[in-house]
Amino acid sequence: MGWMWMQWKTPDAISLWSSDWDWLYTRMDCFPQVFRYRDRCWMFLDFSPASGGYGVFNYSSGEWER
C-alpha cells in the first residue's frame, strides 16, 4: 500500500495521496470504498486478516489489486 498523505476536504470527506495508487477520495458514508482519480474507478479496501493484511477490489476491472 505504500504510504499515504491525507487532506480533509470537509468534515466528512478526505482526499488521499498514496505512493501506490495516486489520488483517492472517500467520505465517511462510503468508506471503506474509495474513488481513484487516476483511472476514475471505485475500489473497496479490505483490511481483514483473511485478505493477508489488506486487499483492494477494483470495481471497474472486477479484480483484486495489492
27 Cβ neighbours under 8 A, 6+ residues apart: 12, 13, 14
What pLDDT score was predicted for residue 63?
A: 92
Q: What predicted TM-score, i.e. pTM, was given to this entire model?
A: 0.78
* pLDDT of res. 19: 85
Q: Edge-to-edge strand order for the sheet containing 63-65?
A: 4-10, 13-18, 22-27, 33-36, 41-46, 55-58, 63-65
pLDDT tens per residue, range 9-53: 778 899 988 888 889 999 999 999 999 999 999 999 888 767 566
Domain residue limits, the chain: 4-65
